Structure formats: structure tokens, C-alpha cells
Chain A
Amino acid sequence: MRKLWSFRGGLKLDGHKQLSMQQPITAADIPEYLVIPLQQHIGEAAYPIVDVGDRVLTGQIIAQAEGYVSAPVHASGSGEVVAIEDRPIAHPSGMHGMCIVIKTDGKDEWITLTPHAEDYRQLDPSALRNLIRDAGIVGLGGAGFPTYIKLNPGTKKHIDTLILNGVECEPYITCDAMLMQESARQIIDGLMIMRHALQARQCVIAIEDNKPDAIQAMHSALTSQESTFIEVVTIPTRYPAGSEKQLIKTVTGVEIPSNRLPLQHGIVCQNVGTAVAVGQAILEGKPLVSRIVTVTGHALHAPRNYHARIGTPMIDLLQQAGLNEHKLARLVMGGPMMGFEIPEHTSPVLKTTNCLLAVTQDDVGQSSAMPCIRCGECTRVCPAGLLPQQLYWHARAKDFDMTQKYNLFDCIECGCCTYVCPSHIPLVQYYRFAKTEIWAQERDRKKSDHARERHEFHQYRLERKKQEDEERRRKKKELLKNAQQKSDKQDAIAAALARVEAKKAQQKQEAGE
């Protein structure tokens, strides 16, 4: 048995997991239109390489990765590109984003896939990473960081532990649990590939103890040879046990400081859904065009998990799950603790859409915020060890320097503090606000730095030009002088020559006589 550590703070929450676990994973219908955003990951948006009117096949690259931190985007169905335009997409700030819109033809015609089934072990880890990159795979757990980067050990040559995150600590969400129950073998196949890419010594599959079926499934999918270096670890159910740093602490006892990456400590975390995507990319040559989405909540008749294409309008999935429009108070992407409201129900499913939560009025508290009574409950539950109430105080006063002194950027936005606050203060909202403001200020500063640089460069160029001009003038003068001297010299030479010539002629004349 592995020794487990515990992290401070956190909450015991009602899981509400059974709601969406009554049915097996169901294939969602192909929608009439697929709306595929160019930015579904952390980093640079992809840029489109198809035009309106083009016919595309399922799995075809329609937008290329741009820069190092980026991921390509593939068509998730066959059909015709009918628009490349701004559409509402799921984003905490309720933004719009560039999307490629495909009118599907219902044939779901695939590109020819080239599997690497036999030879992945012979492949160099970097070649493997390129394949994973080309398949457009990003972290499916929610953050959406390009996976191939997280599979690059970089200068840290030795990766000790690869943790496969099957914790799924947020209430309501069950896509990982269902995937583990139904596709345990594929998860392990993907895990083996990731292990090869990282050359990791050992693997840990971490699952919360409220998912006995998933634990069982993973155990029995492991071969005895594999179980010498892959361990299924049951961890206590406590929110946010699945948050990366908290999970690493629980499994290894290592606390990753705020300014460091797990990689620097020889640890990498990947999500179980990502493992399946990696397995499909390498073993079948399939790019990431679909994912499992939990569609749940009390405003639905038939909540369940759907195997849905990226780009499917959310409303389609809700309707397939029996949406009761009258009961729907708000649509949330993600779980109740960290998810955010989607005002436009036609927004498309993203690579990072793990859950659609159809919330009823009864599910949410209604009351206006009271002043903070300094009860300290938020401090007690904060898994990051912060003083949420102090942070709130300074964020509200827009004293951003103080928020940073109180370690604002260590906040993982888990929402524990807001959940327990008796005054119902939307604390996390204040932290997000403060972070965005600080980023904006930084951008402005960078911009002004840039402007200053440009200005200085301009000055420098002017200066240089002046110097150059002077130099040129000086040279010119010199040249002129030289030319003068030269011509003087030349004159002298010519005169001498003339004299010699004259002399010669004289001598000739004299000889001829």
C-alpha cells in the first residue's frame, strides 16, 4: 500500500454522481452544423487553412497550430465549410471567438488514418510528441493545456512519477468515472504511450474512493506485468482532491511551490480522458474530434454521458438529454464549484467541455451578499492556505499590490471559500477580477515598455544616423582631399611623363638626324 498524504482545507460535498451514471455512455447525434472554435486550448489560437465552400472530411486538419503553445483543430464531421466567423463560445467572460462552421453531410466520411500501433515503442519520444501534437490533443480535464508540451521532460531528464488523474472531485461530473468503467483498457494503452514519451519510472492512477466500480475496472484491466509499475491508488473523497497540486501532495507528499511546475520535481499529471485520446492518436492515428461530456442536472429528464463531437451546440446535447426549459435556471459548463455560466446555449462543445450542468432554481441559493463578518470559515477551508477574506478586502479596495502580497496568484479558484461563506460573498469573482486587472496592467506596462523601447530605438537610430552622416561627411572630405592630392599627384606624374615623352621625342629626333 502506498502511503498517502493529505492537503489542508477542502470540503466534503454531496457528489450527485448517480444522476448521470444510470445509463452507459451514449453516442450523441451528429448535429446539422458543427461550430469549431479556433481557440480551445491555452496558448495561441490556431489559424484556419480551409476556405468557405471547401468540403472537409472527419479528422481533417482545418486550422493549423500557431506557435509553440498551440494545438491544431480538426473537422469533427464531414461536410462543407459554410462560414469562418465570430460566434459566441464558452469562456468565463462570456466572449465570442473565431469559429469554423461546418454544415454536416451526415456521411461522417473519415480521412485515411495511419496507425502507429506496432512501432510506437521504437519511436523516439520526440516523434511521439509530434504525433500527439498533430492530433490536436489538449488536457481534457478542463484546463486545456497542449498535451505534447506536458509530455516533454525538457531539461529535467528523469521523470519519476506519472500520475493519471481519475479523481474527478467536482460534484455531478462523471465523464472520467464512466470512461474508466467502460474503457479501462484504452486508458491504460494511452498511459503506456505517455509513459514512453516521458520515460517515467512509475505510474499512479488516482481515483477517489466514491468510485468503486471505476477502481475495480482499472484494477482488472491491468496485466500483471503492467502492475509492477502502474499502481491504482484510492484516495479519500474530498474536494478539491483532483486539483493538480493537491493531488500531487496526496499521492507523493510533495508540495509544488507556486512558481514551479510539477515537471521540475519529476512529476507529471495527466487526465484519464487525455490518455484515451493519446492512445487513439497513436494506435489508430485518430485526431481529437470528440470527447465524453457529462450532461446532467435536475432540469433534465435523462441525464447521462454523451460521446459528443467537438463543435456540437450545447443545446443539442441538452435536448437529447430531455431538457425541461421551464426548470432551467442556468446552464453551467464544468461542475458546480468551478464551472461558469454559459449565457448562449448554442455555444459549441469544446475540447475542454467535461460537463454541462442544467441547474434549476432549487439548486442554487438566492440571497444578496452581506458584509464579511470575519468568521474565518474561508480560511479554514482554503486548500491553498490563503486568507481569502484579506484577499477579498484588498481586491474590493482595488489594492492589487496587497492582493499579491496575500498570494493572490496561489489561488486555484476552487470556490471552497465562497461555498462556506455565511455572508454569501462571491469571493472567487473578486479574485478573478483582481487577476484580470493585474494582467491588464501588466499588458499595459509591457505595451508601454514596448513603446519606450521603440522610442529609445528611434532615438538610437537618429543618433546613429547623425553619427553616420558625420562619418560620411568626414569621409567625403577626406575623399575629396585625397582626390585633390591624387589629382595633384596625377598632374605631377603626367607632367613627368610628358617631360619623358618630350625628351624621348627629342632624342628620336636627334637620332634621326
Chain B
Amino acid sequence: MTQIHTSPHTPFSNSVSRMMTLVILTLIPAMLAYIWFFGWGILINSLICIVTAYLTEAWMLRLRKRPLWPFLSDGSALITALLIAFALPPIIAWWIPALATAFAIIIAKHLYGGLGYNPFNPAMVGYAMLLIVFPKQMTAWIPAATENGFTLNFVENLHYNLFAELPADKTYDMITQATPLDMLDIQVALGKTVAEVEAGFIQFSPYFGDGWDWISLMFLFGGLILIYKRVITWHIPVAMLTSIAVLSGLAWIINADANPDPLFHLLGGASMIGAFYIATDPVTASTTPLGRLIYGAGIGIITYIIRAWGGYPDGVAFGVLIMNMAVPTIDYYTQPRVFGQGGAND
């Protein structure tokens, strides 16, 4: 007896690999901006992460006796790899991205049952592990090319990442600098006002003269395409960005000397990539419309709290991971109204 096919008897309107492909394609503008402002490091890190991701993914699938091809082609490992690469400083020892990716794929994804079963965003688990284990390396960023007029070229960057050696004419301190969020934290803690800090560093002003802002705008641009293409819905990004804007706006109104304005919070750090590319990971996010608003707002609030009072310059990763834990509860309490049950009429 042949197997009887079930409805619908139509071509598929969507697929996991289509969604993942769109996510990856829309990351390209941000990737280009990254290379433009910070040099080739992002590309090197991406390659390391991707290779690690596919090797570990294939290895885990083999161990778990799962078919290789459908799962390797779904693109999810690629996204995990890219998100980790985007989170790391461009100049960093090669084994750190590799370690984070392997950790993400093996521990955060496959130990929980693989695609669809992991409660925590794998990329953020890998990144958070680095934040905890290698805090120093994580903050050693490089200034945008617009400031000191050079970036390392591809070979130089690769050479550093592989062998931790810089070209003879450059020193480590010359090429590294904290991220704007980090810098602000440190300087305000030292007693400076936000305006003073901003005046002292070209990367803070004017707004669109500095790499971070542009990269954030590229994430925003890519994210809007994803919403338009129905890969993600607007709920999580809007809720997350709104809560960050409102909280930082309040703080700014109360004391503009100690608190940067909302735009700084939205375009600095990981707000945009977080809102459109990390918090929207379907597997680990809430699935109901109302639940997504709560989930997104929760991430925004935690992110702001960590930025303002926590020990880390940015809080997106922890915001996502903490809200991941709340997802089952959120989903349970935000079920949509069933047709005919408690409507406006009757």
C-alpha cells in the first residue's frame, strides 16, 4: 500500500531554509559596513565561526544519528555562527570565536535536542560564556577607521588573530579602544559628564559620522526587509526598542549629564542587531503576538538595566537569555482568544 498524502495538496509557501537564507542575505549590508569601518576582522571571525559551526553541527548530527543533509542545509548553524562573529571584537585570538561557536552548537543547541528544541539562543549562550570567561578580550575593540585613519589590512588582521602578532609599526594599545557604551560607562564613573565624554571622542559625534551608528542602521534596514518578507513580525523589535527608548529617555530627562540620550542607546551597542536578529530567533522567542510584545519589552528593560547599573557595558545577550527562560510562562498566559469564546458579541 502506498502512503496516502495529506492536505494541503499545494506547493509549500515557505520553508525553514528560505527564512534562514533571507536572514543571512539581509545581514550583508551590516557586514559590509562592518568591514568598511573596522577592517577585515569580522570576515575572519565569520569564517572561523562558520567552519566551526558546520563541523560541530555535522559531528553532533552524526552522534545523534540524524540525517545530515536536511539539517545542514537549513541555515540555522550559519546564523548562529554569524551572530557570534558580529558580537566579537575584530582582533581576537582565533580560538576564541571557535570556542564560542562550538559551545553554542554543542551545548546550547544539540544537548537540548537540536533545532527547535533549544530554550536558549545558542549564539547568545556562546557569547555570554565568553563574556564571563574572557571579559578582557571581549572589551578590546578597535576604533572605527574614521577616527585614526587606518584599519589593519586583511593579512595583518589574520596574522594577529592567528599568531597574536601585530605589524611592527603598530602597538596593541594603538589599535584597541573600548566600545562607545563601555567607554561612556568608564568615563562617567570617573566623574565626567556625558557631554564631556562625547566631546572627547570623535566616535560619539556627530551621530552618523561614526561606524557604530551606520552598522546599527544597516541592521535596522535588514530587519525591516525581514518584516516585509514576513520572516519576522514587528512585535519583538518594536517592543524591545521602545522600552529601551522610553527608559533611556526618562533617565536622560532626569539627568542628561550622567545619561546619554535615547538615540545613543538605540544606535550604540547591540540594540538593533538584538532587536531584529537575536531576540527574533523563532525557536527561543515567545510565539503569541501579545507574548512577543512582553518578551521584547522584557529584553529591552533588562538590557537598559544592565547598561545603566550592571557590570557589563551592554545587556542584550543577558536580556535575551533571561527572557528565554520566561518564554513558556509568557506563552501560556498569552494564548489568543479562541473563535467564538468570549468575543465582543454574544
Overall SS of chain A's interface = loop
Residues of chain B with a CB closer than 8 A to A254's CB: 345-346
Residues of chain A with a CB closer than 8 A to B230's CB: 377
Residues of chain B with a CB closer than 8 A to A372's CB: 116
Indicate if A79 sits at the interface (CB-CB under 8 A): no
Which of B10, B13, B115, B287 makes the CB contact (< 8 A) with A363? Answer: B10
Check if B340 sits within 8 Å of A258, measured CB to CB: yes
B-contacting 9-mer, from A17-25, A29-37, A146-154, A382-390? A382-390
Check if B10 sits within 8 Å of A255, measured CB to CB: no
Indicate if B18 sits at the interface (CB-CB under 8 A): yes
Shortest Cβ distance from B27 into chain A, in angstroms? 18
Indicate if B171 sits at the interface (CB-CB under 8 A): no
* Identity of the chain B residue whose Cβ is nearest the Cβ of A362 in the assembled complex: B11
Indicate if A43 sits at the interface (CB-CB under 8 A): no
Check if A94 sits within 8 Å of B283, measured CB to CB: no
CA distance A343 to B4 in the complex (A): 7
Contact with A along B268-293 (1 / 0, CB 8 A): 00000000000000111101110010
Indicate if B12 sits at the interface (CB-CB under 8 A): yes
CA distance A368 to B17 in the complex (A): 13
Residues of chain A with a CB closer than 8 A to B8's CB: 336-338, 415, 418-419
Contact with B along A332-360 (1 / 0, CB 8 A): 10001111110100000000000001010
Check if B335 sits within 8 Å of A387, measured CB to CB: yes
Check if B287 sits within 8 Å of A376, measured CB to CB: yes
Given known A245-B340, A371-B115, A421-B14, contact A387–B288 (CB-CB < 8 A): yes
Indicate if B343 sits at the interface (CB-CB under 8 A): yes
Indicate if A42 sits at the interface (CB-CB under 8 A): no
Check if B340 sits within 8 Å of A341, measured CB to CB: no
Check if B339 sits within 8 Å of A383, measured CB to CB: yes
Given known A258-B340, A419-B10, contact A370–B74 (CB-CB < 8 A): yes
Shortest Cβ distance from A429 into chain B, in angstroms? 4
Contact with B along A390-427 (1 / 0, CB 8 A): 10000000000000001100100001001111111010
Shortest Cβ distance from A262 into chain B, in angstroms? 11
Check if A257 sits within 8 Å of B13, measured CB to CB: no
Check if A375 sits within 8 Å of B115, measured CB to CB: no
Residues of chain B with a CB closer than 8 A to A8's CB: 336, 339
Which of A340, A359, A380, A410 makes the CB contact (< 8 A) with B340? Answer: A410
Indicate if B6 sits at the interface (CB-CB under 8 A): yes
Contact with B along A131-169 (1 / 0, CB 8 A): 000000000000000000000000000000000000000
Shortest Cβ distance from A466 into chain B, in angstroms? 53
* Identity of the chain A residue whose Cβ is nearest the Cβ of B340 in the assembled complex: A257
CA distance A419 to B11 in the complex (A): 8
CA distance A18 to B137 in the complex (A): 64
Indicate if B148 sits at the interface (CB-CB under 8 A): no
Check if B7 sits within 8 Å of A338, measured CB to CB: yes
Shortest Cβ distance from B11 into chain A, in angstroms? 5
Check if A339 sits within 8 Å of B15, measured CB to CB: no
CA distance A385 to B71 in the complex (A): 31
Indicate if A283 sits at the interface (CB-CB under 8 A): no
Check if A255 sits within 8 Å of B339, measured CB to CB: yes
Check if A340 sits within 8 Å of B116, measured CB to CB: no
Interface size band for A:
35 or more
* Identity of the chain A residue whose Cβ is nearest the Cβ of B116 in the assembled complex: A371
Contact with A along B310-346 (1 / 0, CB 8 A): 0000000000000000000001000111111101011
Residues of chain B with a CB closer than 8 A to A330's CB: 5, 9
Indicate if B16 sits at the interface (CB-CB under 8 A): yes
* Identity of the chain A residue whose Cβ is nearest the Cβ of B282 in the assembled complex: A375
CA distance A384 to B8 in the complex (A): 18
Residues of chain A with a CB closer than 8 A to B19's CB: 375, 422
CA distance A338 to B116 in the complex (A): 27
CA distance A93 to B24 in the complex (A): 42
Overall SS of chain B's interface = loop
Indicate if B117 sits at the interface (CB-CB under 8 A): yes
Residues of chain A with a CB closer than 8 A to B331's CB: 387, 390
Which of A340, A359, A373, A407 makes the CB contact (< 8 A) with B282? Answer: A373
Check if A373 sits within 8 Å of B9, measured CB to CB: no
Check if A373 sits within 8 Å of B115, measured CB to CB: yes
Residues of chain A with a CB closer than 8 A to B115's CB: 370-371, 373
* Identity of the chain A residue whose Cβ is nearest the Cβ of B15 in the assembled complex: A422
Residues of chain B with a CB closer than 8 A to A338's CB: 7-8
Check if B117 sits within 8 Å of A371, measured CB to CB: yes
CA distance A376 to B116 in the complex (A): 12
Most buried by B among A265, A386, A387: A387
Check if A332 sits within 8 Å of B9, measured CB to CB: yes
Given known A365-B10, A428-B6, contact A373–B116 (CB-CB < 8 A): yes
Indicate if A509 sits at the interface (CB-CB under 8 A): no
Check if A364 sits within 8 Å of B336, measured CB to CB: no
CA distance A379 to B117 in the complex (A): 18
Shortest Cβ distance from A443 into chain B, in angstroms? 23
Check if A341 sits within 8 Å of B282, measured CB to CB: no
Shortest Cβ distance from B151 into chain A, in angstroms? 37
Check if B14 sits within 8 Å of A374, measured CB to CB: no
Shortest Cβ distance from A15 into chain B, in angstroms? 12
Which of A363, A375, A386 makes the CB contact (< 8 A) with B11? Answer: A363
Check if A337 sits within 8 Å of B7, measured CB to CB: yes
CA distance A171 to B288 in the complex (A): 29
Indicate if A367 sits at the interface (CB-CB under 8 A): yes
Indicate if B206 sits at the interface (CB-CB under 8 A): no
Residues of chain B with a CB closer than 8 A to A332's CB: 7, 9
Indicate if B114 sits at the interface (CB-CB under 8 A): yes
CA distance A373 to B116 in the complex (A): 4
Indicate if A50 sits at the interface (CB-CB under 8 A): no
CA distance A8 to B344 in the complex (A): 14
Indicate if B146 sits at the interface (CB-CB under 8 A): no
Shortest Cβ distance from A295 into chain B, in angstroms? 15
For the A-B complex with A367-B70, A370-B116 known, give 4 more contacts whose Cβ atoms are closer than 8 Å: A336-B8, A365-B10, A370-B70, A424-B12
Contact surface of A with B, Cβ cutoff 8 Å: 7-8, 94, 171, 245, 249, 253-258, 260, 265, 330, 332, 336-341, 343, 357, 359, 362-365, 367-368, 370-377, 379-380, 383-387, 389-390, 406-407, 410, 415, 418-424, 426, 428-429
Q: List 5 A-B contacts (CB under 8 A).
A: A265-B346, A343-B4, A375-B287, A385-B341, A410-B341
- Nearest first, the 8 A-B pairs at minimum CB distance are A371-B116, A365-B12, A257-B340, A376-B287, A375-B282, A336-B9, A255-B343, A422-B14
